[in-house]
C-alpha cells in the first residue's frame, strides 16, 4: 500500500464574490489544480466535492455532478457534507480509495457561496450544523457556543481575552503575505480587545468572516505519479476522523474536542509519526479559542498550554511551531465547504517549496491539517510529508 501524492492544487481568492456562482468558483479552483498537476481531466476517475449550504445559499443540491461538469470531468462525482469539515471528509475518502487501488486519480475540493444571501441568512444557514431541537431553537449560535467553550477553558486552565487577541493578531499578520486571503489587514492586540463583543468573551476579531471561495487538489497514486513523470513530492501519509455528540450539553467537557483527539491519534498512527515530528500546522480556527483547542488536540501543546502559545510567539511564522501560516480561517477566510482542501493546498505549497504561493514561510518536512465541523462534532486530521 502506497500513500497518495498531491499532484496539484488550486485556490480562488477568498472573500466576497456575490456575483459568482458556486460552480464558477469551483471551476476556477478545479481547473487550476488540474493545470498545476499536469493531469488531463479525462484521467480523473472520481470527484469528491465538499459543500455545506448549497441548498440554502443557491437553491442547489446534487452538486457533485454539477461540479464535475464545470471542470470537464466525466467521472462519478459525490458531494460530502460534514459541516465545516466537508472537504476534509472528502480528502479522507480520496486517500482511502487511492490506497485501495480502486482509483489512481481523484479530484477533491469544495466550494461555498455565502455572501450573496447576507449576514443574517448566512448565520441562520450555518446554525443548522448545530442541534436544531436542543440548541438552535433555544437561541444558541456558533459564536455563543464557542463563547461557552472559551469560558469553560478559562475556568479549567486559565487564560483570558488578551491571550485570544494574540491568536487573532498572529493570524492577521500571517495573512498579509497570502494573496488569496480575505482579511489582509494588520491588527493589534488593542484592536482585538476594543472590537465589539460578539459573544462574551469573544469579540469581532475572535471570529472568522463570512466567505465565498473554492479550493481543489488532484490526488494521485504513487504509481500514477511515477508512470507519468509527475513532480509530486508531497504525500498524504496519515488520515484520521473522529466524531462527538452534536450538542454541547451532551458532552462531558466544553474545553476539549474529543473528535479531534480521535482523528489525531488515528492520523499519527497511520503515518507513523507523532506530534514531535510536526513542523507546521493548519488548524480550524473558526474562532480564536478553536485554534487553542485544536493545537492541544493535535498534541502540539499540553492541555492548558495552547492558550499562551501565540502570546509567547511559539505559533508565529518564525516560532518553534508555526500554526496557520495562511492566516487561518480567521484571516484567510472560511468558505465552509472548501476549507479542508484549502488547508491541504497551503501545506502542499509550503512543503514542496512553492513559497511564493504559501507566503514567506520556514522550510518544513512534516505538516498536519486539522478540519472541524460545528463545535468539532466532526473532525478530520491529515498528515502530509515530503517524499523523495
Residue 158, number of CB atoms within 10 A of its CB: 11
Q: Is the backbone peptide bond immediately before 201 cis, with ω within 30 degrees of 0?
A: yes
Instruction: Report d(CA 160, CA 225) in Å as an integer.
Output: 48
What crossing angle do the helices spanning 63-70 and 22-37 adopt, rounded to 10°? 50
The active-site residue out of 17, 172, 180, 334 is: 334
Q: Cβ(370)–Cβ(329) under 8 Å?
A: no
- In the DSSP assignment, the letter for residue 40 is -
231 exposure class (CB count in 10 Å sphere: 0-12, 13-18, 19+):
exposed
What beta strand segments (E) does the chain contain? 5-11, 46-50, 77-80, 105-112, 197-199, 202-203, 213-220, 234-243, 280-282, 366-373, 378-386
Grid coordinates in use for 267? 492520523
Residue tagged active-site, from 84, 174, 208, 284: 84
Q: Are 193 and 315 in contact (CB under 8 A)?
A: no
Confirm whether 180 is a catalytic residue. no
Give yes or no: 286 in active site.
no
All cell numbers assigned to 112: 461555498
Catalytic residue numbers, as ranges: 84, 334
Amino acid at each position: 500500500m502506497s500513500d497518495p501524492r498531491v499532484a496539484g492544487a488550486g485556490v480562488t481568492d477568498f472573500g466576497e464574490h456575490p456575483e459568482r456562482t458556486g460552480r464558477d468558483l469551483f471551476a476556477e479552483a478545479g481547473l487550476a489544480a488540474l493545470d498545476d498537476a499536469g493531469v488531463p481531466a479525462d484521467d480523473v476517475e472520481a470527484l469528491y466535492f465538499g459543500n455545506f449550504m448549497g441548498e440554502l445559499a443557491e437553491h442547489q443540491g446534487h452538486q457533485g455532478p454539477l461540479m464535475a461538469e464545470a471542470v470537464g470531468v466525466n467521472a462519478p462525482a459525490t458531494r460530502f457534507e460534514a459541516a465545516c469539515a466537508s472537504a476534509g471528509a472528502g480528502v479522507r475518502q480520496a486517500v482511502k480509495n487511492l490506497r485501495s487501488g480502486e482509483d489512481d486519480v481523484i479530484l477533491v475540493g469544495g466550494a461555498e457561496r455565502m455572501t450573496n444571501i447576507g449576514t443574517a441568512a448566512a448565520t441562520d444557514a450555518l446554525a443548522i450544523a448545530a442541534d436544531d431541537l436542543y440548541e438552535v431553537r433555544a437561541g444558541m449560535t456558533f459564536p455563543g457556543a464557542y463563547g461557552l467553550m472559551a469560558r469553560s477553558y478559562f475556568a479549567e486552565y486559565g487564560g483570558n481575552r488578551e491571550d485570544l487577541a494574540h491568536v487573532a493578531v498572529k493570524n492577521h499578520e500571517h495573512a498579509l503575505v497570502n494573496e488569496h486571503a480575505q482579511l489582509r489587514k494588520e491588527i493589534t492586540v488593542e484592536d482585538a480587545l476594543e472590537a465589539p463583543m460578539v459573544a462574551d468573551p469573544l469579540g469581532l476579531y475572535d471570529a472568522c468572516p463570512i466567505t465565498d471561495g473554492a479550493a481543489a487538489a488532484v490526488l494521485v497514486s504513487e504509481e500514477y505519479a511515477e508512470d507519468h513523470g509527475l513532480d509530486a513530492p508531497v504525500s498524504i501519509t496519515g488520515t484520521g476522523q473522529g466524531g462527538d455528540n452534536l450538542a454541547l450539553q451532551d458532552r462531558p467537557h466544553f474545553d476539549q474536542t474529543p473528535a479531534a483527539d480521535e482523528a489525531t491519534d488515528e492520523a499519527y498512527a497511520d503515518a507513523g509519526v507523532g506530534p514531535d515530528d510536526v513542523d507546521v500546522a493548519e488548524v480550524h480556527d473558526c474562532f480564536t479559542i478553536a485554534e487553542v483547542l485544536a493545537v492541544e488536540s493535535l498534541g502540539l501543546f499540553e492541555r492548558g498550554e495552547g492558550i499562551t502559545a501565540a502570546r509567547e510567539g511559539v505559533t508565529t511564522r518564525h516560532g518553534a511551531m508555526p500554526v496557520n501560516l495562511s492566516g487561518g480561517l480567521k484571516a484567510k477566510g472560511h468558505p465552509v465547504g472548501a476549507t479542508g482542501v484549502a488547508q491541504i493546498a497551503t501545506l502542499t505549497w509550503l512543503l514542496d517549496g512553492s513559497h511564493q504561493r504559501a507566503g514567506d514561510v520556514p522550510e518544513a518536512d512534516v505538516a498536519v491539517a486539522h478540519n472541524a465541523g460545528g463545535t468539532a462534532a466532526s473532525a478530520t486530521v491529515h498528515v502530509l510529508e515530503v517524499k523523495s
